[in-house]
Chain A
C-alpha cells in the first residue's frame, strides 16, 4: 500500500472540563461525596472519550459508509473524472494496472506485478496477476488490458488521456497473464495512463454506457444507481487484495454543499466531498469531525480564456488579466489558506516545477493597467466579458466576484454567468465557453505531458480555449515523446515558457483536496487520481 501523506488538520481537541465551584457552606461529607462523584464522572467521561478514540484507531469490520457528493454520474462520462460520484464509483469498483503513491510518480504494482521497457522505449511488457476475476466471475486476462486501453483511445468516451491511449499502437496478448504494449514513439506519461485506466469488463460495456451496471475487479461491486439520488456499492468478498472492512458504501447525491454539510452535522452522512473552504474550516474546528488534506492529489483552480473571443484573442489582454488576479486573497479568503498561489499548475514535487516561473504573473495592477491601456489604444474599449462558473459550488461564486472586482480595477468589465456543473463540463469538453470561465483542473500531479498532451484545457492539439500555437505544440510533443523519466529540465522550461507566454489558461492556485469525515471513520485513503480508497476504511462504533 502507498504511504499516506495526508494528515488531519485538527487533531480532535478536547473541551476543557468546567471548573467546579468550591463546596462552601456544606457539610464535609457532602463535599466529599460530591468530589467523589465528580471524580467518577470525570474519569468515566475521560474513559469514554479514550475508548472512542481507541475504537476509531482500531480497524473494525462491517457497516455502510455514507458519502455525500455534489455531482451525479453521467454514464457516458464515467471515465472523464468530471463527477464526484463517478470518482467514488470508479475508485471503488475498478482496479488499475499500476498505482502511484501520493508523493511520487514512481509506479507501484497493482494488477501488473512487473514491467520492462525495450531499449528505445517503444515497447513495454507487463506481467499481470493471475488471481483476479471480474465481479461477474470472469477471469481477468491481457485481453482486458487491451480492451480497456482501446476504450480510452475511442473518442466516443471523451476521456482526457485519449491521445496517450491512442499512442499505444500494438497489443501482444498471446500470454493471458502478460501483455506487451507497442508505441510509435516513447511515451513519457505511459505510466500515468496505466495508473488511470480502469480495467473494464468488455462483456458489460453496453450496460456501463446505459448506466445499468459497472463491472470491474475492484474492492466493491456495483449494487444500484438512482440517477440524481443515490449510488450503492457492496463489498467484494472475493477481492484479490483482501475483502474490504466495510459492508458497503452508500453515496447520496446532494447538489447543495450546504445541505451536504448540514446532513454531516446531523449525523446522516459520514463523509462529504463538496464542502466549501469556509465550511471545511468550520467543521475542522468541531471535535466531531476530521478534515484530511491530501497532499499529492492536487487540483488547480484557474481562469480559462477563449482565445477565439475577439477581445481575448489579444495575448496582452490575457496577460493583463493574469496580472490582475489577486491569488493570495483568493487562497486566504476563499480556501482559508489550503492552497498555494501560482501562475503555473505544477506542485513542488513535479519535475516541471519552477518557483520563479510560478511567480511570473504575481499580482501587479500597474502592469495589468499598462497592458490594458496598450490594448485599448489600439483596438478601442474592451467589451464586457462573460465569466462562466458552476453555480452549485459556493467557492466559485466568491472567486468569480473577486475576479470581477479585480478586473474592474483595470477597466475590464465582467458579467458573471453562473451555470450548472453539468453544463460547465459540457462546455469544457466542447470548448463552448464564450469568454472567460472558472473551473478546477487536475493532472498536474502526474508527469507534465499528461497535462499538455491530454487534459481538456491544456491539450496542445485541441484545448477548451481554442489556443493553437506551433511552438507550444512542438514543445509538448518533444516532452511527450521521451522515455519516462528522461525528459530534460530544458524541455520542461520550454513548456513553462509556452504556457506563460500563451496565457490562455490563467492559474490561480494549487489546492490540496480536503475530505471531511465524522470521527468514527478510520482508515480512509485517497489515490493520486483523486479517488477515495476504501479498502481499509472502517467505521468505529
Chain B
C-alpha cells in the first residue's frame, strides 16, 4: 500500500533535504566500472582507433592535404593514382586525396554537432513531456509523425524548404534523432519513475523538476550513450545518401557522400576515384558501430 504525498506549494526542494550522493531506496550505488572501460579493449578499442583515425585525418586536413580542396591543377584531368596524386584527380583537375581529407570535415560536423543537438533536444523533450500524461500524448503523436517519414523522404521534404547544403543535412539529422532519443528517454523515465528511490524522494517532498534532474536523467544516460554512437553512424549514412542524391553539400565543397557520387559517375573512366572516400565512410561507420556494440555489451555486464 502506498500513500500519496503532495509537494508543499512553493517549495521545490524536499522538506528534509535528501543528501547528495546515493539516493534512498534501491537506487544503484555507482556506475558500473567497465562501461567506458570497454572502449579500451577488444572491439571497443578497434572502434575508437577507426573513428579516431578518421577524425584526426579530418582535423589535420589543412596540414596533410597536398592541395586545396577546390584547387584546380593545370593539366591534371582525371589522372590515375600516382606519387603526385595518391588517389588521382577528378574531371575538374582537383586532387582527390585533398578533397577526401577535407570532405571528412563535413561528416564530422554532422556526426559531432548535428547528432548531439538532435539527441539533446530529443532527450529534453522526452524527459519533460513523458512526466505528465497530457504532454506525453502530444509529444508521442508528434514523434509518430516524424517517425512516419522515411529518412530520405524527410530529407527531400526539408530540402524543398531549406535548399540543399550542409545546414539542411544538419536539420534532417536533428529531425531524425529527436523522436529516437525522445522515445528512448521516455522508456527510461517510465521505468525509473516507478523505482523506490524516486518514490522515496517524492515522499519527502521532492518536486517533479528536481526528481527529473537528479534521479531520472542521470539514470537514463547509459542507454542514451549507446544510441548516440548508433545515431552517429546513421548520420554518416544520411550525409552520404543526401549528397549522393544531390541534396547535400553544394559543389564545389567536398563531402564523403558527394565524392562517392562522383566516383560512381566516373566508375568506367576512373574506377579508383571512390576508393578513398568509401574506405573512410566504412571506417567511420564501422568504428561507431563497434563503439556502440561495445558500450551496449558493457551495460549488460
> In the complex, are the beta carbons of A405 and B264 less than 8 A apart?
no
> In the complex, are the beta carbons of B251 and A279 less than 8 A apart?
no
> In the complex, are the beta carbons of B269 and A400 less than 8 A apart?
no
Q: Known contacts A333-B91, A400-B251, A416-B252: does B72 contact A258 (CB below 8 Å)?
A: no
Q: Taking each of B70, B78, B265, which has the highest tally of chain A beta carbons within 10 Å of its own beta carbon?
A: B265
Task: List chain A residues, Cβ under 8 A from B265.
Answer: 258, 276, 394
Cα(A279)–Cα(B266), bound, Å: 8
Task: List chain B residues, Cβ under 8 A from A513.
Answer: none
Q: Which residue of A lies closest to B264 (CB)?
A: A258
> In the complex, are the beta carbons of B252 and A278 less than 8 A apart?
no
B77 smallest CB distance to A (angstroms): 5
> In the complex, are the beta carbons of A397 and B269 less than 8 A apart?
no
Interface residues on A, range: 20 to 34
Cα(A400)–Cα(B246), bound, Å: 15
| A514 interfacial contact with B, CB 8 Å | no
Task: List chain B residues, Cβ under 8 A from A394.
Answer: 265
A503 smallest CB distance to B (angstroms): 24
Cα(A394)–Cα(B268), bound, Å: 15
Cα(A363)–Cα(B93), bound, Å: 18
A7 smallest CB distance to B (angstroms): 24
> In the complex, are the beta carbons of A402 and B269 less than 8 A apart?
no
B10 smallest CB distance to A (angstroms): 56
Cα(A401)–Cα(B252), bound, Å: 6
Number of cross-chain contacts by CB at 8 Å = 42
Within 8 A of A (CB), among B231-286: 246, 250-252, 264-266, 268-269
CB-defined interface of A331-363 with B at 8 Å, one 1/0 digit per residue? 011100000000000000000000000000000
B90 smallest CB distance to A (angstroms): 9
| B64 interfacial contact with A, CB 8 Å | no
Which label, helix, strand, loop or mixed, suits the secondary structure of the A interface?
A: helix
B267 smallest CB distance to A (angstroms): 8
> In the complex, are the beta carbons of B264 and A401 less than 8 A apart?
no
- Of A278, A333, A404, which contacts B266 at CB under 8 A? A278
> In the complex, are the beta carbons of B251 and A397 less than 8 A apart?
yes
> In the complex, are the beta carbons of B269 and A278 less than 8 A apart?
yes
Task: List chain A residues, Cβ under 8 A from B164.
Answer: 418
Q: Known contacts A333-B77, A416-B250, A418-B251: does B269 contact A282 (CB below 8 Å)?
A: yes
Cα(A258)–Cα(B246), bound, Å: 14
Interface residues on B, range: 10 to 19
Which label, helix, strand, loop or mixed, suits the secondary structure of the B interface?
A: loop
| B92 interfacial contact with A, CB 8 Å | yes
Cα(A416)–Cα(B249), bound, Å: 11
Cα(A279)–Cα(B92), bound, Å: 15
| A39 interfacial contact with B, CB 8 Å | no
A448 smallest CB distance to B (angstroms): 34
- Of B93, B246, B251, which contacts A333 at CB under 8 A? B93
B91 smallest CB distance to A (angstroms): 5
Within 8 A of B (CB), among A394-447: 394, 397-398, 400-402, 404-405, 416, 418
Within 8 A of A (CB), among B83-119: 91-93
> In the complex, are the beta carbons of A404 and B91 less than 8 A apart?
no
Cα(A416)–Cα(B91), bound, Å: 17
> In the complex, are the beta carbons of B266 and A401 less than 8 A apart?
no
| A391 interfacial contact with B, CB 8 Å | yes
> In the complex, are the beta carbons of B72 and A405 less than 8 A apart?
yes
Q: Which residue of A lies closest to B70 (CB)?
A: A405
A395 smallest CB distance to B (angstroms): 10
Within 8 A of A (CB), among B45-91: 70, 72, 77-78, 91
B63 smallest CB distance to A (angstroms): 23
Cα(A281)–Cα(B270), bound, Å: 13
Cα(A278)–Cα(B90), bound, Å: 12
> In the complex, are the beta carbons of B268 and A282 less than 8 A apart?
yes
Task: List chain B residues, Cβ under 8 A from A282.
Answer: 268-269
B295 smallest CB distance to A (angstroms): 40
Cα(A334)–Cα(B90), bound, Å: 11
Task: List chain B residues, Cβ under 8 A from A398.
Answer: 91-92
> In the complex, are the beta carbons of A279 and B246 less than 8 A apart?
no
CB-defined interface of A32-75 with B at 8 Å, one 1/0 digit per residue? 00000000000000000000000000000000000000000000
Q: Which residue of B lies closest to A257 (CB)?
A: B265
CB-defined interface of B1-14 with A at 8 Å, one 1/0 digit per residue? 00000000000000
Within 8 A of B (CB), among A380-401: 391, 394, 397-398, 400-401
Task: List chain B residues, Cβ under 8 A from A416.
Answer: 250-252
> In the complex, are the beta carbons of A279 and B268 less than 8 A apart?
yes
Cα(A401)–Cα(B70), bound, Å: 9
Task: List chain B residues, Cβ under 8 A from A397.
Answer: 251
Q: Known contacts A333-B77, A416-B250, A416-B251: does B264 contact A402 (CB below 8 Å)?
A: no
Cα(A282)–Cα(B268), bound, Å: 7
Task: List chain A residues, Cβ under 8 A from B78.
Answer: 278
> In the complex, are the beta carbons of A418 and B250 less than 8 A apart?
yes
Cα(A282)–Cα(B271), bound, Å: 13
Cα(A401)–Cα(B93), bound, Å: 10
> In the complex, are the beta carbons of B91 and A334 less than 8 A apart?
yes
A461 smallest CB distance to B (angstroms): 34
Q: Known contacts A416-B250, A416-B252, A418-B246: does B70 contact A278 (CB below 8 Å)?
A: no
CB-defined interface of B162-192 with A at 8 Å, one 1/0 digit per residue? 0010000000000000000000000000000
Cα(A281)–Cα(B266), bound, Å: 12
Within 8 A of B (CB), among A447-484: none
> In the complex, are the beta carbons of B269 and A404 less than 8 A apart?
no
B169 smallest CB distance to A (angstroms): 16
Cα(A394)–Cα(B250), bound, Å: 14
Cα(A397)–Cα(B246), bound, Å: 11
B67 smallest CB distance to A (angstroms): 13
> In the complex, are the beta carbons of B251 and A402 less than 8 A apart?
no
Cα(A476)–Cα(B36), bound, Å: 78
Cα(A400)–Cα(B91), bound, Å: 12
A201 smallest CB distance to B (angstroms): 39
> In the complex, are the beta carbons of A404 and B250 less than 8 A apart?
no
> In the complex, are the beta carbons of B91 and A278 less than 8 A apart?
yes
Task: List chain B residues, Cβ under 8 A from A276.
Answer: 265
Cα(A398)–Cα(B251), bound, Å: 10
Chain A residues proximal to chain B, CB less than 8 Å: 258, 276, 278-279, 281-282, 332-334, 391, 394, 397-398, 400-402, 404-405, 416, 418
Q: What are 19 inter-chain pairs, A to B, with CB distance below 8 A?
A: A258-B264, A276-B265, A278-B266, A282-B269, A333-B77, A333-B93, A391-B246, A394-B265, A397-B251, A398-B91, A398-B92, A401-B70, A401-B92, A401-B252, A402-B72, A405-B252, A416-B252, A418-B250, A418-B251
Those 4 A-B pairs whose CB atoms lie nearest each other, nearest first: A405-B72, A401-B252, A401-B92, A282-B268
List 12 additional A-B contacts (Cβ < 8 Å) besides A334-B91, A405-B70: A278-B269, A333-B92, A394-B265, A397-B251, A398-B92, A401-B72, A401-B251, A402-B72, A404-B252, A405-B92, A416-B251, A418-B246
